[in-house]
Amino acid sequence: MASTGVFSDILYGDVFKYYADGEWKKSSSGQSVAIINPTTRKPQYKVQACTKEEVNKAMERAKFAQKSWARTPLWKRGELLHKAAAILKEHKSPIGECLVKEIAKPAKDAFTEVVRSGDLVSYCAEEGVRILGDGKLLVSDSFPGNDRSKYCLTSKIPLGVVLAIPPYNYPVNLAVSKIAPALIAGNSLVLKPPTQGAVSCLHMVHCFHLAGFPKGLISCITGKGSQIGDFLTTHPDVDCISFTGGDTGIAIAKKAGMIPLQMELGGKDACIILEDADLNLVAENIIKGGFSYSGQRCTAVKVIFAMESIADALVEKVNARVAKLTVGPPEKNCDITPVVSEASANFIEGLIMDAKDKGAKFCQEHKREGNLIWPLLLDHVTPDMRIAREEPFGPVVPVIRIKSIEEGIHHCNSSKYGLQGCVFTKDINKAMLISDAMETGTVQINSAPARGPDHFPFQGFKDSGIGSQGITNSINMMTKTKSTVINLPSPSYSMG
Ligand code: G3H
């Protein structure tokens, strides 16, 4: 059932329209893509299956609209973003309800995602006005052999058309974390939402439409990645790609041309626990970090390295908390909700069965109903088990017992991923040394990994990504430096 009211103009029959050239449109393909509700496992919504020709048109319009947008005063661009942020927050209920149905996000987290997104857009507007209003003046006589006859003025200018591809787990928040920096910096934006999460994205884009952005500046193209994905990511009119998701990002990076890329890919975020750690704090963070949104976060705690001497006590504390997690539908705000698809549930189950065959200790009974997988802590996991290396994106957390800190660091750095990691200890000196040794984009000391607050730099090393995100970094990344050099006459020139 599609939502109505203020969003009714984005529907054609029971299929959501796509957005291009300032209008809501029906695709000429006559085809749609079904979105399956992860909880009911039945079709929930339908979106347009856009054609390559429609992609071409959106790109053409984006290219055209960007030219005058880049000349729109910065404060005006900021003003429109503030307006969109306010409209987005006003619509947190209908958008949140979509998130619940499309991606089975617990209702409270779904509403939080929309509010966080509004805050992100506003912050972006303010930060953009500050940092893009700032240029540089260089004088030539600081470089050997030069006199003071050249003045170089540098400023940040937009890249052109930014292609944004967010993932299913934060379709709204990780879309606006690309859209808002792109727009404040004077770029136009083509959004390709994930299939699960597409309707939430369309609703979010509708808020930008209501705010009154110029025609063609923002487009939202829906359809199957297998049909239009490569066409979009290799399109000659794209000047920058900002992608969040899985290994597909690596394939995109290999095919993209000479354009800036911002990629946030997978993670195997390690949690190293020292002997002096506050085990209650650790257990709370493992629950929050490992099981929130059923582990479907790139920053989820995905492997625990616990010193042997405290491992039994820690596992007991975590188990006591796992027992209190509620399991069920997102509408009831359960802690553990169905994972996004049957394929995903099957993959997670494969990892669990592999660990079972290789001798892991199950701290809870393994239970699955449809896409719903009960939370599971796996103890005595060894490095040869798939769960020790692979990313489950589900409510399963492995514990590997370590004899030394070096062993924990070694395991962490053996991963092909390097997104975030965390270390728990009361000794700040050790924490800092461990942070230095961990090959991850961020190390959290005494807390679970997390991307936010959204203005913090956020980056992955190795197969976890390219470039750095966070509001300030994203704005800078979506601009290029332009210099104008004023050449003065030679010093012998007479001013009369
Ligand atoms: O899934 C990837 C997200 O960037 C994680 O964001 O740490 O706010 O849950 P989060």
Ligand 1 pocket mutation, candidates 119, 173, 174, 458, criterion most atoms within 8 A of CB? 174
Catalytic residue annotation: 264
Cis peptide, bond prior to residue 453, ω within 30 of zero: yes
If you measure from the C-alpha of residue 297 to the centroid of ligand 1, how many angstroms do you get, rounded to a whole number? 5
Instruction: Give the tens place of pLDDT for each residue, 399-455.
Output: 999 999 999 999 999 999 999 999 999 999 999 999 999 999 999 999 999 999 999
* Site residues for ligand 1, CB cut-off 6 Å: 169-170, 264, 297-299, 450-452
Ramachandran angles phi, psi of 366, nearest 5°: -80, 125
Going by alpha carbons, the residue nearest to atom 8 of ligand 1 is 451
The whole-number pLDDT of residue 141 equals 96
Closest ligand 1 atom to 292 CA: 9
The whole-number pLDDT of residue 8 equals 79
- The CA-atom distances, in angstroms, between 211 and each of 22, 64, 172, 186, 188 are 11, 20, 17, 16, 15
Q: Residue ranges per domain, the chain?
A: 5-265+464-481, 270-445
Going by alpha carbons, the residue nearest to atom 6 of ligand 1 is 451
Of the options 3.60.20.10, 3.30.1280.10, 3.40.605.10, 3.20.20.450, the CATH number for the domain spanning 5-265+464-481: 3.40.605.10
If you measure from the C-alpha of residue 264 to the centroid of ligand 1, how many angstroms do you get, rounded to a whole number? 10
- Contact between 206 and 167 under an 8 Å Cβ cutoff? The reply is no
- The CA-atom distances, in angstroms, between 280 and each of 269, 284, 310, 422, 429 are 20, 6, 12, 15, 21
CA distance 110 to 113: 5
CA 173 to chain centre: 7
Residue closest to 129 by CA, chosen among 177, 82, 65:
82
The whole-number pLDDT of residue 6 equals 59
If you measure from the C-alpha of residue 298 to the centroid of ligand 1, how many angstroms do you get, rounded to a whole number? 6
The whole-number pLDDT of residue 496 equals 73
If you measure from the C-alpha of residue 81 to the centroid of ligand 1, how many angstroms do you get, rounded to a whole number? 23
Residues of the chain with pLDDT under 70: 1-7, 491
Residue closest to 177 by CA, chosen among 248, 124, 114:
124
Mean pLDDT of the chain: 96
Closest ligand 1 atom to 174 CA: 4
Ligand 1 pocket mutation, candidates 177, 242, 297, 422, criterion most atoms within 8 A of CB? 297
175: amino acid identity, one letter: A
- The CA-atom distances, in angstroms, between 482 and each of 14, 134, 140 are 48, 13, 17
Domain 270-445, second-level architecture: 3-Layer(aba) Sandwich (3.40)
The whole-number pLDDT of residue 3 equals 45
Q: Output 105-110 pairs: Cβ under 8 A, ≥24 positions apart.
A: 105/293, 105/330, 105/337, 106/293, 106/330, 106/333, 106/334, 106/335, 106/337, 107/330, 107/331, 107/332, 107/333, 108/333, 109/292, 109/293, 110/330
CA distance 427 to 362: 32
Closest ligand 1 atom to 452 CA: 8
The whole-number pLDDT of residue 2 equals 45
Residue closest to 261 by CA, chosen among 159, 169, 176, 191:
159
Task: Record the pTM.
Answer: 0.97
94: amino acid identity, one letter: P
Our CA angle for 260, 218, 240, nearest 5°, is 5
Q: Three-state SS string across the chain, please? A: CCCCHHHHHHEECCEECEEECCEEECCCCCCEEEEECCCCCCEEEEEECCCHHHHHHHHHHHHHHHHHHHHCCHHHHHHHHHHHHHHHHHCHHHHHHHHHHHHCCCHHHHHHHHHHHHHHHHHHHHHHHHHHCCCEEEEHHHCCCCCCCEEEEEEEEECCEEEEECCCCCCCHHHHHHHHHHHHCCCEEEECCCCCCHHHHHHHHHHHHHHCCCCCCEEECCCCHHHHHHHHHCCCCCCEEEEECCCHHHHHHHHCCCCCEEEECCCCCEEEECCCCCHHHHHHHHHHHHHHHHHCCCCCCCEEEEEHHHHHHHHHHHHHHHCCCCECCHHHCCCECCCCCHHHHHHHHHHHHHHHHCCCEECCCCCEECCEECCEEEECCCCCCHHHHCCCCCCEEEEEEECCHHHHHHHHHHCCEECEEEEECCCHHHHHHHHHHCCCCEEEECCCCCCCCCCCCEECEECCEECEECHHHHHHHCEEEEEEEEECCCCCCCCC
CA distance 474 to 181: 6
Rounded to 10°, the helix 107-132/74-90 angle is: 170
Q: What is the dihedral of CA 415, 421, 425, 429, to 10 degrees?
A: 90
- Contact between 63 and 237 under an 8 Å Cβ cutoff? The reply is yes
Ligand 1 pocket mutation, candidates 115, 177, 299, 447, criterion most atoms within 8 A of CB? 299
- Contact between 31 and 226 under an 8 Å Cβ cutoff? The reply is no
If you measure from the C-alpha of residue 251 to the centroid of ligand 1, how many angstroms do you get, rounded to a whole number? 22
